[in-house]
């Protein structure tokens, strides 16, 4: 498969399957959720082999090192060969959720939460999401 020498970051992130659509990848760049050396980059930024990008996607943050150019979207097994995920284990969503997820469980048959119960549940959720960011 021929690969261009110039490749846009939004197209690259879509091709390696970090985003479901190219539009989502482009919007993430515009919103400042894709960074190179701590600096926001535009969707038309030219990708170079060896560069390391920080990509925020919801609660997940990934640090991706470019190991090869990929212009067209391919299956996940092939896409893995064109980047290296260098995200520290502590920053992965699975690691965080294992230790910090609140357990919201109510006894069966207790009925609807009262107004006071609802406020306590909301406070617990708000504290969790503020610490998670």
- For residue range 58-100, list pLDDT tens digits in order: 777 889 999 999 889 999 899 999 999 888 876 665 555 555 5
| Domain spans, the chain | 9-87, 102-132
- Residue 72 contacts by C-beta under 8 Å, 6 or more apart in sequence? 1, 15
CATH superfamily of 9-87: RNA-binding S4 domain (3.10.290.10)
CA distance 53 to 48: 11
2 pLDDT higher than 80: no
Q: Residue 39: helix, strand or coil by DSSP?
A: strand
């Amino acid at each position: 498969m021929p690969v261009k020498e110039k490749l846009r970051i939004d197209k690259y992130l879509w091709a390696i399957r970090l985003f479901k659509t190219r539009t989502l990848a482009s919007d993430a760049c515009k919103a400042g959720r894709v960074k190179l050396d701590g600096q926001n980059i535009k969707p038309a930024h030219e990708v170079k082999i060896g560069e390391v990008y920080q990509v925020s996607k919801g609660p997940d943050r990934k640090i991706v090192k470019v190991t090869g150019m990929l212009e067209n979207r391919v299956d996940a097994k092939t896409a893995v060969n064109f980047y290296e995920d260098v995200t520290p284990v502590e920053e992965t969503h699975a690691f965080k959720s294992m230790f910090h997820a609140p357990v919201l469980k109510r006894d069966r048959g207790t009925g609807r939460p009262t107004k006071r119960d609802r406020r306590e549940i909301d406070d617990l959720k708000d504290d969790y999401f503020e610490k998670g960011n």
